Amino acid sequence: MTHSYFVSPDWLEAHLQDPNVRVVDATIFFDVDNEAMIQSGQKQFETHHIPGTVEANLMELSDPTAELPFTVMQHEDFVKALEKMGISDETHVVVYDSGPQVGVEFSASIWAARLAWQMLYAGLTKVSILEGGFDRWLLEERPVSKEIVDYPEGQLNVQQQDHYFVDKKEVLAAIKADNIQIIDALSPDQYRGVSAPYGPDRAGHIPGSKNVFYGSLADPATGRLLDRAILSQIFEEAGVLTDTVEAILYCGFGVGASWLFMVLKELGKEKIAVYDGSMDEWTQDDQLPIEKDSSL
């Protein structure tokens, strides 16, 4: 049976008692209007979560020595953290979150996708996202719990999948490569250079990249992915579904790009990598090129 990188609430509810399924809450609350712009979902987890779930704090599952937020941590440290959640080689991990950003009108499980990408990069294979996330689970009035469950430590024997990760040197080389397409997962305004969170001199996108906004791939009301045919058309137009083309995905700090990664995996794409530093890193180096919409 082909592995699915997304599972439905029906599937998950039917498998809550399965000892080989581990549900993980990766919620992060990203609120640009709050002084503490990025907060973990710990308080929410303590009051209600899907029964049997363990919490994963993405801020703690990042490299503590890195200057950039959510930088992927060392392989051995990440694997040990997963084992403490009771995850083993045979475990099917299902990750969920509570939406991408406070107050937005689109849906995308970007935080769940970030953790799922980290797991796949670390070498796990049985990783899925709950389609629609916790919001859909609550909307459908499915069971919740406040019980905190401790599982016996798992055992993982996994090898890091280096082809899922690229750095800025590889991205720079990819700009002129015929068999690589770079994809910008940020909003159209940020891609074009209309919105300039990194300053007017560093507004825009990596040259040659095409724009597939991470918030455009799911139904805003339910969080369900768009029809697979529509998703395929979006990525075909972006030029990345051809088997011979590698897709390099980036966003602000590698989180929205991870959502595109998981959607592409669901569509059967194999040649995909996330630029972990993304625009947070790229814009800090004045030697790296950026282009805007020519009409601006």
Query: Residues 150-188: pLDDT tens digits?
Result: 999 999 999 999 999 999 999 999 999 999 999 999 999
Q: Which two tokens stand for residue 10?
A: 């029906």
Residue 94 has pLDDT above 90, yes or no: yes
Task: Indicate the CATH number for domain 6-140.
Answer: 3.40.250.10
Residue 1 has pLDDT above 60, yes or no: no
pLDDT attached to residue 34? 86
Q: What is the mean pLDDT of residues 7-28?
A: 98
Residue 33 has pLDDT above 90, yes or no: no
What tens digit of pLDDT does each residue of 198-236 get?
999 999 999 999 999 999 999 999 999 999 999 999 999
Residue 9 has pLDDT above 60, yes or no: yes
Residue 35 has pLDDT above 90, yes or no: no
* DSSP-derived secondary structure letter, 224: P
pLDDT attached to residue 114? 98
Of 94, 98, 92, 86, residue with least CA distance to 115:
94
Q: What is the mean pLDDT of residues 50-69?
A: 96
Q: Which two tokens stand for residue 231?
A: 């998703």
- Delimit the CATH 3.40.250.10 region(s) of the chain: 6-140, 162-283
Instruction: Give the mean pLDDT of the chain.
Output: 96
Residue 296 has pLDDT above 90, yes or no: no
Contact 290, 207 (CB under 8 A): yes
Cα–Cα dist 127/123, whole Å:
10
pLDDT attached to residue 63? 96
Of 193, 119, 192, residue with least CA distance to 159:
119
Q: What is the mean pLDDT of residues 83-100?
A: 98
Residue 32 has pLDDT above 90, yes or no: no
Say if domain 162-283 classifies as CATH 3.60.150.10: no
The CA–CA distances, whole Å, from 188 to 19, 30, 185, 206 equal 43, 20, 9, 13
Percent of the chain with pLDDT strictly greater than 70:
99
DSSP 3-state assignment of 98? coil
* DSSP-derived secondary structure letter, 162: G
DSSP 3-state assignment of 218? strand
The CA–CA distances, whole Å, from 128 to 8, 173, 182, 219 equal 10, 32, 24, 18
Cα–Cα dist 17/54, whole Å:
14
Comparison of pLDDT for 156 and 3, the residue scoring more: 156
Q: Which residue has the tokens 């000892």?
A: 19
pLDDT attached to residue 78? 98
Residue 56 has pLDDT above 80, yes or no: yes
